[in-house]
Amino acid sequence: MRKDATKPIERLHSSRARPAASLTADLLEAPTKRAPRSLAELNRTMAAAGPMVEGGTRAVLGEGPIGATLAFVGEQPGDQEDLQGRPFVGPAGQLLDRAMAQAGIDRSHAYVTNAVKHFKFQQRGKRRIHQKPTMGEVKRYRWWLFNELTFVQPHLVVALGATAAYALSGAPVVIGRSRGPAEFETFKGFITIHPSSLLRLRDRAERETAFNQFVRDLKSAQRLAGREN
């Protein structure tokens, strides 16, 4: 294991995502004996593989149409997502829905998924406390994520936050420096904030400004995806 494999993603700093020159090693090492022939088969093997993080009751799989113009990748399912078995249905998901609607993006036409497919948490009394995945854990899910995206073939992949940007680019990313167009291996990409960062802003005006910037990012991503048609 590399020395940095257990470090949280935001502790490691580099200014740019790695360009898509060649597929990185962890994408070439298939954890299954036979290459899945469909997204459904990939999902079945993912669900059967079990959690690769602490907690993680079930795999919360991506949802949306094959060939979606935009694919959105978050960090990992949260408490609500784990309970409902669907990505981005809790408080961060509701913010994402609102930002998408304001950007003119129909969520039912987009593909929505996560870098890590299980909810990593620690049980404290009745509460399940979200734990950030380590770089090593995110890497373990990379093969699944890229195979998933290869079946979906989106025109553009939007990384929501640093964990998704790390999973997609294979290199640590500082959102403030790398926000905007990107390349993720063979996919055209775009890096923006994670909607949960808006939930942490206490000042109302600051939150509104950050939300509007997020909506502008989603519009830019949509424009970039459209140019490929």
Closest CB to ligand URA among residues 32, 51: 51
Q: Is the CB of residue 53 less than 8 Å from the CB of residue 138?
A: no
Closest CB to ligand URA among residues 114, 147: 114
**CB 138 → ligand URA: shortest distance, Å?**
12
Q: Give the C-alpha distances (Å, rounded to integers) separating 179 from 148, 158, 160, 161.
A: 24, 11, 10, 9
C-alpha dihedral (117, 72, 62, 101), degrees to nearest 10: 130
**CB 78 → ligand URA: shortest distance, Å?**
4
**CB 58 → ligand URA: shortest distance, Å?**
13
Say how far apart CA 76 and CA 58 lie, in whole Å: 12
Sheet of 70-74, strand order: 111-114, 70-74, 156-160, 187-192, 180-184
**CB 132 → ligand URA: shortest distance, Å?**
11
Closest CB to ligand URA among residues 22, 122: 122
Question: Which of 47, 37, 64, 51 is closest to 147 using CA atoms?
Answer: 37
Closest CB to ligand URA among residues 92, 100: 92
Closest CB to ligand URA among residues 23, 129: 129
**CB 33 → ligand URA: shortest distance, Å?**
29
**CB 158 → ligand URA: shortest distance, Å?**
12
Site for ligand URA, rule CB under 6 A = 74-78, 81, 87-88, 90, 92-93, 114, 196
Residue 144, CB-side half-sphere exposure with 13 Å CA sphere: 31
Which residue sits closest to ligand URA, CB atoms considered? Answer: 74
Reduced to 3 DSSP states, what percent helix, strand and coil does the chain have, rounded to the nearest 5? Answer: 45, 15, 40
Say how far apart CA 117 and CA 192 lie, in whole Å: 20
Say how far apart CA 197 and CA 36 lie, in whole Å: 35
Closest CB to ligand URA among residues 17, 96: 96
